Structure formats: structure tokens, C-alpha cells
Structure 1
Amino acid sequence: MKSESTLPTMLANAAAQDRSDDDVSLLMLWQNVLSHRRLFYGITAGVVALAVLYLLVAAPVYKADALIQVDEQQGSALGALSDVASALSLNKPIDGELDILTSRAVLEPAIDATQARTTVKVANRVPLLGRLYGRYYTPPDGIADAPLGLTGFAWGGERLVLSAFDAPRVLYGKKFRVRAQGGGRWTLEDRDGNLLARGALDQRVAFEAPTDFGPAPGFIEIRELHGRPGASFTLVESSLDDTIDVMRKRMTVQETTKGSSMIALSVKNSEPGLAAAFANAVARAYVALNIKHRAEQSRLSLEFLNRKLPAFREELAQSEDRLNAYRIRTKTIDIEEQTEALLTRAVDLTKQKTLIDLNLQATREQFRPGHPAVKTLEAQDSVLDGALRDVEKQVQALPSTQQDYLRLARDVAVDTQLYTALVANAQQLEVAEAGTTGNVSVIDFAARPDSAAWPKTPIVLAGGVFGGVFLAFLVVQALAALRDTLRDPLDVERVGQAPIFAVVPASTAESQAARGQRRGNKRQSAQPVALLASSSPGDPSVEALRSLRTTLRFSLLGKEGGSILFTGPTEGVGKTFVALNFAYVLALKGLRVLIVDADLRRAGARRYFSANTSYKGLANVLAGDAQLEDALVQTGFDGLDLLPAGSALPPNPGELLERPAFAAMLKEAATRYDYVIVDSPPVLPVSDAVTLAQVCDATFVVSRADTTSRHQLAETMKRLNQSGIRVTGQVFNGFRATRYGYGYGYRYQAQG
């Protein structure tokens, strides 16, 4: 029989009005976090701890920066002629310069200059501890003092700088070891500890290293060696290709701002000196390559002009001879103004056309067809062809005498200007070839960085905090989704398909008392937990149980008295708390109430009473070893007695409860008491609750917020209904109005 809506149910319905099972809201997510705040704080603290550990053990990375300026304006292949012809103005893309900076042609000389192919590491440093100690106790440009006299280890400041090192190719990637001997002396050993060479600073020493193919030659020269005698360093040489790949990953080249023609070059390395040295070596190699390239352009252009000058000199002489012969023959001295204007125009266009052709020929000798420079010159040449055709049409409209004179005078003027310009350009190219300067320059060379670029303490800590919060949030939400716990009374009523008779709020006092008893159990000095209805009668949880008493009396039984069973899906839902405190509330009304602890596997009632509950109990009564009146225990509260589970765990509790003796015991107890409150085992782990419910007058299923899942409650109701048991109602325990939690697990085991 389903009752009318109770006050707690009405409040729950108002709080969860029209909310579906699939609702996801910010409030729900926040409630999941609150319900799992310990896990949330733990994960966050763990990630922050990892971030702090990373700060302590991570090797610092230093960054050195250089600034390079690129003059993007490029002259024509025949540089000086560009002023005469305005033939070519090429803007070399800055992106191309960025590619050149990371090219093999630039990186290879930089790697050779800095010995970047060889990785040098301190070998006898204490892991982690040595690095931490050296970070804080290494003096500037000095060696850290050894703590506790442990001079056999490196503690900070040890450094080895190579001038040259060449290992056999077959031993690339293999370790060599250099040991400091004091006084600038050193020894070189292979990976097996075999002595290969001895030497001093700035002394190049050849050696032979054993390989699988016989001894192979190599050499080493050390420029700097800082460390106490016995300090050792490992040397590992890599191939040039591998080193280029590594250094490209450590380099960053980019234009400072769009169109600025300024390139920022950055190099990262664990050694600040090597970072600055490599950045500067790259900048110098880039400038040298640029100068070499422009010198080569000047040489090729000069060769081209030297081939063309004799032909132009001969052409100039012939054009002058033709003009003089025409003047003598026609006795022509002056020309009309219109003809002179056409002559000037024709001379200018012809000169430009000739220069474009020269530049085009020179450019085709340096670049392949389809290159942007070639295409630009071809387009300009086409435009000049059109302009010259227009001038030629105007010339053809003149009288024949003026046409002949104009053509001859044009040839002389053009040849004169071209020959003069080519001679001047050849002289300039001779000077340029002798002392070429590039169009790039280093504005700022890299300085040795004083502080590490990474790790940055604020960034790492902030990342640890935010990363921890984010990870903890994801874990909490994932667990909440997997467990799918009940969140409010409306969910309980909908899933359980039975009315809710009481919504019992979570009690802080009860939680504190339970924690105190657990601590007492560990110290073997546990005291009974006082019934909340007795110690805190005004607690909201007790008020909810009073509401259950009223609802039960008027809406369900229709009469005073009867046996009432309290069970739940799993342990930990608070069924014992609800049953015992409800029994006490009934007893306060002057009723005679018996509490039956029917959980023979894990008796829970005994922790609430100080009376001796270890002698006889329900198990003894059902087994026929004791009479009911002999097993009853007075609780110390008027009208409230206890039938404990028994003195010892029976071997077959399930079969014992199935005996007719339990029903007989209930009938006998009904003659002595108004109410018999049965604290039953949970439904899902064992079948005892199903057996007990079949002989009780009313059955209540207790579920708990933050603990019972939808699946657990649905499965509990299914098992009871399949056994023919009509669930009277539900009690929702541990409800918090401001948040909801989750719980999971069917674990349920016996305790001795």
C-alpha cells in the first residue's frame, strides 16, 4: 500500500522538480567534487608534489639569444647597372633566410667550432642529491666543497671544455671517460676502463681505441678542466647528421616582427656557455656564408662583363662610323624638334632593353628557368618590347631622311651609354670581389645566460596546481559517472518504485561518534556509541525518525504493534543506525520495543550498548540452546530491550534463519512487546534479508546518499519482489541538501 506524500518527500520533490536522470549541471559536477573532496585534494596535492619534485630534480635549461639584421634589398646580377636601367629590385623573402640559418651549410661549421658533436657529462656525481647540492652550494667559477668529506664525488662546478675530439666512427654513441689527475693533467679511458691516452691542457694527443674491427685512431685536445683530482667525465661523440638534428631542435629562429628584417636566434642547452657559444657560432657561420655567396655573385658577374665589353666597344665604334658617314653623305647636321624627342625616347627605351637583356643573360647563368628573378626580368623585357614597337611606329611616320638619321643617332647614343656603364660596373665588381661585404650583420651576439630559462618556478607550480585540479576533477567526475549513485530522494523513489517514508539528514554528531569508536577499536579501548536519539534528541536525523514513527502508525499498519524489518542493498547505508534510533523513538512514546540483531554475520547492534552482548542471543535461541527470555538484554532505556546476534558466529547463519524457529520467536516476542525491530543483513551480499522479510509484518529498505547506486537499489527491489515480499517503504539516509555523493561495492564479510 502506497501512502500519501510525506513532508520529506514533498520537500525532495520541490528541490528536484522535473529533473531527469540524465541531467548534467554545474551544480551536479560541484557536488561530485564535494562528495569526493578527500580524493580531489589528494590528487591535487600529489600533482603539486610532483611539480615540486620536478623543480628539484630537473636539469636546468639555459637559453642564449642573438639578433641578426638582414638587408632585404638585393641588386641585380650586374649591380651597378640597376641604377641605370632600374631593371631589377629583388626582395629576398625573410623566410628563406630563416631556412638558411638552420641549413647544413651553416650548422656544420658551427658544430665544428663548438665541438657540439661530443656530449660531455659529469660521471661521478651523486644522482639527484649531487645536482641539488651543486645548485645551491656551487660558488661562481669555482668548485663546491664536498660535504662530509666525500671528495670522491662531484658536487658542483666541475667542467670540461674540449678543443677537439675525434672518436672512431664505429664508436659513435659509445662512452669514453676522462679523469682529472690534478695540475691540469688528465687520462682518457674507453667504456671498459682501458687507458687510451694521457695528456695536459691544450695538448693534442692521438690514441687508438679497440673496436670489433681492430684498433682505430682518434685524437683529443682539452682546453679547460675544472674539478678535484678523481673527477670524471663521460664523452659521447655522435655523427654529424644526428648532431645537426639535435641542434635544430634546440634552435629557434624567427623574425622579431613582420617586415622588420630582424631575426631572433635562440639556442637552448643545459650548459649556459655552450648555448651562447653555439648561438654565436651559428651567427658567424651565417654571415660568412652570406659574404661567400655575394663574392661568388660578383665573380660570375665580372666574368660575364669581361666577355661582353669587347663586343660593345666594337659596336660603339661601328655605330659612330655609320653616323659620320651618313652626315657627310647627306650633309645633315640638325634635326627637327619632334625627331629629337623621338630620338631621346628611343635611346632611353633601347638602353633599358639592352640592360634588361644583359641582366637576364647573367641571371640565367646563376639560376634555373622558372626562378623568380628570371621571371621578373622576362616580364620587364616584354614590357619594353611593347614600348619600343610603339616608338618604331612613330619613327616610320617621319620622312625617310629623318628615319635613317634617327636610327643611326640612336645607336651611337645607346652604345656610348651602355659601354660607359659596363666599364664602370666592371671596375666596381673588381673592387667588390676583392672585399665583399654581405647584406646581413649581427646586431647582438649571444651572452652567457646567468639564469635558467627552464624550469620556471612560478610556471611549474601554477601548472602543477591547475593540472592537479583538472586531473582531480576528471577523476572525480569519471568515478561519479561509473558509480551512478543516487542523488536525491526523488531518484530513490523513482528507482525503488516504493514510497519514501523518511529522509534522514546526515548527522555530524553521529559521524564524529563513529570515528571516535573506530579510533578506540585501534587502541582496544572502544566505548559504545550513544544512540543519537538519546544523546541529541533535537538532531534533524532524530526528527526525521519521529516523522517515520508518525507515518508508520497512521498510514501503514493501521494498528499498533508488529514486526518491522530494516535492510539495505549493501553494508554502510546506516540501516542499524536507523533501526536502533527508530526503536528508541518508539520507546519514548511508552511502547515496549525489542531490537533483534538478525545480522548473524556482522552484528552491529552491540556497538551501541554497553550491556554484555557476548553471552547468548538470536543464534542460541534459533539453535535451541537458549530460551528467548534468557537471551534478552536490557539496554538501559525504559521499554527498550535487545536480542543480540549471539555469542559466536554460527557455521550456517543462512540455514539457521530459515528455520521455523525464527517465526516462532517473533510470535513469542509479539506477546511481550508492542514492536519488534529487526536489524537485517543487507540484501545483495547474502539472502538472509529475503528469508527474514517473509515472516515480518513490514519491510523497509534503507539507502544512503553518497553510498547507494541506482543499480544496487534496483537490484535490491527486484530480489525482494521476486521472492514475493512487498516492500512497505524506503528510508533515504545521509541526505545533504547542498550536495550529493556516490558509493559502490558489495563487499560484506564476517567479523569474529
Structure 2
Amino acid sequence: MTQQANTPPVNTSQTQEDEIDLGRLLGLLLEGKWIIIAITFVAAVLGVSYALLATPEYKANALLQVEEKSGGMAALGDMGEMFSQSSNAEAEINIISSRHILGAAIDEVKRDIQVAPKRFPIVGGFVARRHSEPQVADASLFTSYAWGGEQINVSQFNVPNSLLDKGLTLRTTEQGFELLDEDEEVLVEGEPNQLANNNGITILVTDLQARPNTEFTITKVSTLRAINSLNSALSVSEKGKASGILELALTGTDQKDIANTLNAVAQQYLLQNVRRQSAEAEKSLEFLSQQQPELKAKLDQAEERLNQYRQQNKSVDLGLETQSVLTRLVDLEKQLNELSFKESELSRLYTRSHPSYQALLEKKQSLLRDKNELSDKVENLPNTQQEILRLTRDMEVSQEIYIQLLNKVQELNIVKAGTVGNVRIIDDAVTALAPVKPKKPLIAILATLLGGMLGVGIVLLRGLLNRGVENPEDFEQVGINVYASVPLSVAHEKKMLSFRKRKAKQQSDMLLADYNPTDLAIESLRALRTSLHFAMLEASNNIIAIGGPSPSVGKSFISANLAAICAQSGQKVLVIDADLRKGYMHTIFEQTVDSGLSSLLSGKNTLPEVIKPTQVGNLHFMARGQVPPNPSELLMHSNFKQLLDKVSQDYDLVIVDTPPILAVTDPVIVSAQAGTTLMVSRFAKNPLKEVEVAQRRYEQNGITVKGIVFNAVERKASSYGYGNYGYYNYEYKS
């Protein structure tokens, strides 16, 4: 006996649901294609408009080379190496972006003075950029705006601190210009090429070409704000890896201004580099210049002491051995002195733990040991020879030191004069002819894509927010019978739209079964009439109550046209508008609400007075009457039951239109007297949950709903939707 493994069943319902969801999404997109196309088109137009109207930005660039180079001349040997410097690219980039360099460049090109002509909003800049004539553009309207060809150059502009970073208005006049504050008060008046000074403001306009009454915005930018603005627009990067080539780039709207600014930045960086290279030579030269008088005085004193001693001892000469010792001592003193000079320089560059500094100290100790050995030999010489040796040594050492100092001074002067820095400008700043912003094709493409995405998002979001039932099978799945699916009548929708626009109290030909009996909606109601004929065979009476879960589902439309169809088939039919609050069926039958159900139940009118004939034979109508203060109480009165018993005997069919069940209790009162109760649900408006709650509301009061009339069904590619309702300020919560 073989055993078969138990395999889990395939969840076909889940698979179908997933397929339906995908199909629904596609259907939503197909239904909303015109919305997507419209939004995409608008976005594309806006993108192209922005690309055309936006002020173009240009880019200027320059190339610098930073190389490792000795200060001064190569022939100076150690002196040149002492002042050699090298710096990595990152350090140089930070130097270029420093406030010191940028501030000096701003002062050079007057970038802290910002002047711009006032343009007409949105299109002013576009029109001005297309003005190619040398003269100023004429303007018959909006003469205060600059329309193209205007030029202004402000060489000097100083304001009090209270006016820093504030835009002032410079307005041209017949003779010159006037400077206005935010309150349109004149601060300064002046003429071109003449310095104007008033109220603590100094301004010099060296070039002005504009129509009288043309306005410019002028701002004196604070130093820090100007530096930050320039720094944000400036980019410095190294081309390649460890190449020493720096690229400077600056973006802006004025081609000439950005090139001049970038050249100023490069020049200021070059100047500071040269000053930095020569700074060490200047410090050393200053130190040696201070030592020179002192050393000269020591040399003179040594020579004088030697001469005096020779005179006193009648010109004592040194022997060959003593002369050799003297030569060696002088040479050691010379080397020690050179090391002292070098140590003074190294102490400004390195700490004592640096390898170069340690090597110098070791060499100095070695020379001192040799000197001490020679000093021991000198002590064995006769006293006269020792003294003459000492004096001669002091004189020659002082002379060597002084000569060495003079040589150092000359070398440092050559180093200072020959300093060119380790930076050179390879390419001066040049502005590209084509703007870098805006990228018109890219903006147009992105705007179109974003518009399409926005359109798709709106369509899908609208579909997700609409939870109304769109498939009648959903009702069947929860046990609610669907008696009929009534298609949306385009002719009736047009009538209703016309009625709302005119805001008339009455409108002729509002009954679809009368003015368009072949409409598909009427054909569906004929099928409903047939279904009701068999459904009412077991009913307690011939009264049909028609309700719905929410307003605007088409209850009155179904009630009126169903009654008309039944009347056209030969039945004697009465339609009662039982919505005593907001019933409007009287507009469909071209009646008034002066008398009706409310006045009949309150005893103000009799039954013959409130029943009115209609344009359809065998069809009579009872309006709601004036809105009473107590609709529910009137319907609960015994008069209402007596009324229904009476008309049930006099007519073959009585159709009662009731208000929404989830809003008020009136439908329960009416349906309790009716033999058949139907609910109307509108396509894509009522959620399934809402319909179920409405059915339970009827069942809780002992009323059985025969089924649903699915109204205003549309042919849509999608299969589901959502919606909300509101009636008498009623809010449903599940």
C-alpha cells in the first residue's frame, strides 16, 4: 500500500486577487490617461518655461601649478636649502579658500559692491538678454524696469553699518542719479564721475547708461558675507593625483565679473606665496643686520689688543708649530660660528628633536672636542707665545666671523631678490561661452518625467482613496442579492448638470423614462420591474420602500423611473417622497412642495389634495411637503400607517423613497410598513463595509432587504474603487 504525501492546496484565490490587483492598477492608469497626459504636459511646459526664463550661469576656470622649489638661487647651496618649502595640494587649496586671499580679491574687484538692474518679474531677464542693440531699450510701459542695454559701474560705495547687506534703490534722473532707502526717501543725489557724500554714505558712479527713472538695486555687502558668497561659488581641485596642478573654477551670471574675480584670486594667491617664500630670508637678514655692528666692534677691539701687545713686546712672531695650531683653531672657530648661524635658523623651523637639528648638535660637539684638544696643546707653549696666539686667534676669528656675516648678508639679499615663489599661473581665467546652468534639455526631460510620475501618482492615489464597490460580485460574495445593475445615464447626468448650473427650482423633462425611454438605464429598470414582479408575489403588500446607505446614490432616480416604467406597463402607481428633510423628487415630476406628505400627516391637507397626477399616465406623485420640525415623529404616527393602507388598496404599486439608513431612522419606520425593501448603492461610491452596515441596520429592526440595486455603473478598465459620504452631518465609523 503506497502513501501519497499531503501537498498543501494552492491558494488560487490569493493568486487571483493578486492578478486582479495588477489589472486594477493598469485599469486605473488607463482610466486616468488624460489626467496623466494633462499633468505631464503642464509639467513639460513649466520645465521648458523655466529653462528659457532662468538666468543663465557661466563658469570661468584658471590653472595654477604648485611645485617644490628652493628659495633664492641654486648656487647658494645650503642657504637655498634652508629656505626651501613644499606644500601639499590640500594645504594650498585651503590657503586659496582662506579669508585672507578671498578678502583681498574682493577688495581688488569691488565684489562687495553689488549692483543689478531691476527687471520685470519672470520675463524681464529673458527680454533683456535678447536685447542686442548697443543703445538702451525703449519702454513705453513699466519705465522703472530695465529692459536691456543698461550699464552701471560703481567704483566706490561706503555706507554706515546699519545699511550693510541692505538693498537700496538707485534711480536714474535727467542729471544723474539718486539713492533711495526702503521707504523711498532720498539718501544721496549725485552725478556720474563725481563723488557724492551725504548721510554717512559715499558713492562714486563712474559709468552710467540708462533711461531716466530706471531703477537699480545696489547693496554694500559686509566683508564676511561677501567672502562666504565667493567661497560658495568658488571651487578648487587638484587635477590628477599629486600633480601639483590646481584648477580654480567660479560660477556666476556675469561672464566678465567672474573672470576678473577669478584672476584676482589667482594673483592674490601668487603674491602671498612670493611673500611667504621671501619672509624667511627677510627675518634672517634682519637678524644678521642686528649682529653686524656688534661683530664689527669685536673685530676692532681684537685688532687693537693685538697691536698693543706687539708694541709692548716689540713685535713677537709666532713659530711654525704655533702658527699651525692657530690656523686650526681659527678654522674650528669658523665652523662653530657657521653652525651657530645655522642653528639659529633651524630653531625657527624645527624643534631640537628633529633629525636635522640633532645632526647639527652632534657636529657641534665634535668640533668642540677638537677645540679642547688644541687648547691643551696651547697651554704647553711659553707664556709669550700663548698670549700672542690668543690675541691673534681672537683677531682672526673675529675677522672671519665678520666676513662670514657680510657674505651671509649678501647671500640673503640675493635670495630675497631672486624669490619668485613656487606657484605660477599656467592659464588665466577664461569664461566659457556656453552657460553651465540651466541645462535646458535636461530640465525639460526631467520636468516631463516628473510630471508623468506625478500624474501616475495622483491617479493611483485617487484610486486607492476610492473604496467604493465597482464589481457587483462583491455584494454576492457577502450574501447580498443584486437585483439589477443600472448603467450610468449620460443623458440624465447632462440634465442634472444643467439643472445645477441654472439653480432653478424646477426643470422640465427630468424624468428619464419619459424623455428618453430607450436609455440603457431604463432598459435595466425594466429588468428590475420583472424581477420585482416575482419577488413581490410572497410580499405582505404592494408597497416598495427604496433606501440606501448614504446620500447621492440615486434613490430618487431609481424610485421615479421605476414607477414610470411600471405605470407605462399599465399599472396604477403612486410614488411617495418620504424624505421629509431633503427630498427633491418634486423637481423630477415638476411639482411644488407646498403640500405633501408632511402636511397630510399633520392634518393640514387631505389625501386628494396631496396626490398629484404626473406627465406619465397611471402615475401619481405625493411630494414631501414643507420640512417639518419632527419628521420621525410624523412617520411614527398612526396616520402614516393608515395612509399606506389606504393607498395600497387604491393603487397597484406604491413606491416610497426614503432617506439614507445610516443617517436617520426614518427608513426603518417606512420599511416596517412596506412589504418589500430595496437598497440602492452607487458605483464606486459606497464601500462594501458601508453597505453591510446598512443591511445590518435594517435587520436589527426586523426588516429584510430583498436586495441591492447597483446604480450608475460605468465601464471602467479597473475593477475596484473607494469613496466617502456625508448626509445631515452624519459620519459613519465602522
Letter in 1 for 2:498: R
**Contact conserved, 1:302 with 1:430, CA < 8 A, in 2?**
no
Which residue does the alignment assign to 1:168?
Answer: 160
- Give the alignment partner of residue 685 of structure 2, picking from 707, 719, 733: 707
Partner SS state of residue 490, structure 2: helix
Query: For the residues of structure 2 that align with 1:170 and 1:538, how far apart are their CA atoms?
Result: 78
Which string of whole-angstrom CA distances, capped at 9 and with x for unpartnered residues, describes residues 728-750 of structure 1? 3223333445224433231459x
Question: Residues 433 and 482 of structure 1: is their aligned pair in 2 closer, same or farther, counting only changes over 3 Å?
Answer: farther
Matched, 1:513 2:506: no
Query: For the residues of structure 2 that align with 1:260 and 1:642, how far apart are their CA atoms?
Result: 100
Query: For the residues of structure 2 that align with 1:362 and 1:490, how far apart are their CA atoms?
Result: 98
Which residue does the alignment assign to 1:500?
Answer: 481
**Contact conserved, 1:567 with 1:681, CA < 8 A, in 2?**
yes
Question: Residues 642 and 88 of structure 1: is their aligned pair in 2 closer, same or farther, counting only changes over 3 Å?
Answer: farther
Matched, 1:578 2:571: no
Matched, 1:134 2:128: yes
Question: Residues 690 and 152 of structure 1: is their aligned pair in 2 closer, same or farther, counting only changes over 3 Å?
Answer: same
TM-superposed deviation, 1:521: 5.3
Question: Residues 88 and 650 of structure 1: is their aligned pair in 2 closer, same or farther, counting only changes over 3 Å?
Answer: same
- Give the alignment partner of residue 116 of structure 1, picking from 111, 114, 119: 111
Letter in 1 for 2:676: A
Structure 1: gaps of 5 or more residues:
1-13, 210-215, 307-324, 326-357, 386-422
**Contact conserved, 2:698 with 2:705, CA < 8 A, in 1?**
yes
Which string of whole-angstrom CA distances, capped at 9 and with x for unpartnered residues, describes residues 222-259 of structure 1? 23212123434343212211211122223333456666
TM-superposed deviation, 1:433: 4.7
Letter in 2 for 1:156: G
Which residue does the alignment assign to 1:597?
Answer: 577
**Contact conserved, 1:65 with 1:276, CA < 8 A, in 2?**
yes
Letter in 1 for 2:197: F
**Contact conserved, 2:72 with 2:416, CA < 8 A, in 1?**
no
**Contact conserved, 1:501 with 1:731, CA < 8 A, in 2?**
yes
Which string of whole-angstrom CA distances, capped at 9 and with x for unpartnered residues, describes residues 446-474 of structure 1? 33x66665445545554544444545555
- Give the alignment partner of residue 100 of structure 2, picking from 75, 82, 105: 105
Which residue does the alignment assign to 2:63?
Answer: 68
- Give the alignment partner of residue 655 of structure 2, picking from 677, 690, 713: 677
Question: Residues 724 and 93 of structure 1: is their aligned pair in 2 closer, same or farther, counting only changes over 3 Å?
Answer: farther
- Give the alignment partner of residue 258 of structure 2, picking from 270, 275, 285: 275
Residue pairs, 1:237-636, within 5 angstroms: 237-255=220-238, 263-296=246-279, 365-366=348-349, 430=414, 433-447=417-431, 453-471=436-454, 484-489=467-472, 491-492=474-475, 498-502=479-483, 504=485, 506-507=487-488, 510-520=489-499, 522-523=501-502, 526-531=507-512, 535=516, 537=518, 539=520, 541=521, 545=525, 548-549=528-529, 552=532, 558=538, 562-583=542-563, 593-606=573-586, 608-609=588-589, 617-619=596-598, 621-624=600-603, 625-627=605-607, 631-636=611-616
Question: Residues 225 and 468 of structure 1: is their aligned pair in 2 closer, same or farther, counting only changes over 3 Å?
Answer: same
TM-superposed deviation, 1:108: 0.9
Question: Residues 33 and 97 of structure 1: is their aligned pair in 2 closer, same or farther, counting only changes over 3 Å?
Answer: farther
**Contact conserved, 2:468 with 2:685, CA < 8 A, in 1?**
yes
Matched, 1:734 2:712: yes
**Contact conserved, 2:513 with 2:522, CA < 8 A, in 1?**
yes
**Contact conserved, 1:566 with 1:678, CA < 8 A, in 2?**
yes
Question: Residues 439 and 604 of structure 1: is their aligned pair in 2 closer, same or farther, counting only changes over 3 Å?
Answer: same
Query: For the residues of structure 2 that align with 1:250 and 1:707, how far apart are their CA atoms?
Result: 56
Partner SS state of residue 549, structure 2: coil
Which residue does the alignment assign to 2:366?
Answer: none
TM-score (norm 1): 0.67
Partner SS state of residue 668, structure 1: helix
Query: For the residues of structure 2 that align with 1:226 and 1:612, how far apart are their CA atoms?
Result: 77
Question: Residues 189 and 668 of structure 1: is their aligned pair in 2 closer, same or farther, counting only changes over 3 Å?
Answer: closer
Which residue does the alignment assign to 1:6?
Answer: none
**Contact conserved, 2:487 with 2:524, CA < 8 A, in 1?**
no
Letter in 2 for 1:251: L
* Percent identity between the two aligned chains: 26
Structure 2: gaps of 5 or more residues:
1-11, 290-323, 325-340, 363-406, 730-734
**Contact conserved, 2:71 with 2:84, CA < 8 A, in 1?**
no
Residue pairs, 1:199-238, within 5 angstroms: 199-201=191-193, 203=194, 205=195, 207-209=197-199, 216=200, 219-238=202-221
Question: Residues 517 and 16 of structure 1: is their aligned pair in 2 closer, same or farther, counting only changes over 3 Å?
Answer: farther
Query: For the residues of structure 2 that align with 1:664 and 1:445, how far apart are their CA atoms?
Result: 101
Letter in 1 for 2:611: A
Query: For the residues of structure 2 that align with 1:654 and 1:27, how far apart are their CA atoms?
Result: 46
Query: For the residues of structure 2 that align with 1:546 and 1:79, how far apart are their CA atoms?
Result: 112
TM-superposed deviation, 1:90: 9.8
TM-superposed deviation, 1:633: 2.4
TM-superposed deviation, 1:440: 4.0
Partner SS state of residue 289, structure 1: helix
**Contact conserved, 2:467 with 2:721, CA < 8 A, in 1?**
no
**Contact conserved, 2:465 with 2:723, CA < 8 A, in 1?**
no
Letter in 1 for 2:645: K
Query: For the residues of structure 1 that align with 2:51 and 2:483, how far apart are their CA atoms?
Result: 54
**Contact conserved, 2:35 with 2:455, CA < 8 A, in 1?**
yes
**Contact conserved, 1:518 with 1:526, CA < 8 A, in 2?**
no
**Contact conserved, 2:541 with 2:675, CA < 8 A, in 1?**
no
Letter in 2 for 1:244: I
Partner SS state of residue 119, structure 1: strand
Query: For the residues of structure 1 that align with 2:560 and 2:285, how far apart are their CA atoms?
Result: 110
Partner SS state of residue 212, structure 2: coil
TM-score (norm 2): 0.68
Matched, 1:656 2:662: no
TM-superposed deviation, 1:52: 7.0
Query: For the residues of structure 1 that align with 2:412 and 2:663, how far apart are their CA atoms?
Result: 101
**How many residues end up aligned between the 2 structures?**
626
Query: For the residues of structure 2 that align with 1:528 and 1:573, how far apart are their CA atoms?
Result: 21
RMSD of equivalent CA atoms: 5.4
**Contact conserved, 1:255 with 1:263, CA < 8 A, in 2?**
yes
**Contact conserved, 1:700 with 1:731, CA < 8 A, in 2?**
yes
Letter in 2 for 1:286: Y
- Give the alignment partner of residue 159 of structure 1, picking from 151, 165, 172: 151
**Contact conserved, 2:28 with 2:717, CA < 8 A, in 1?**
no
Which string of whole-angstrom CA distances, capped at 9 and with x for unpartnered residues, describes residues 470-492 of structure 1? 45555565566566444544555
Query: For the residues of structure 1 that align with 2:582 and 2:250, how far apart are their CA atoms?
Result: 68
Which string of whole-angstrom CA distances, capped at 9 and with x for unpartnered residues, describes residues 562-596 of structure 1? 32222112222122333344445656766554433
Question: Residues 711 and 48 of structure 1: is their aligned pair in 2 closer, same or farther, counting only changes over 3 Å?
Answer: farther
Which string of whole-angstrom CA distances, capped at 9 and with x for unpartnered residues, describes residues 126-174 of structure 1? 55575565355x33443111125x6565433323212222323444234
Query: For the residues of structure 2 that align with 1:45 and 1:152, how far apart are their CA atoms?
Result: 35
TM-superposed deviation, 1:39: 7.6
Query: For the residues of structure 1 that align with 2:100 and 2:253, how far apart are their CA atoms?
Result: 25
Which residue does the alignment assign to 2:140?
Answer: 147
**Contact conserved, 1:569 with 1:703, CA < 8 A, in 2?**
yes
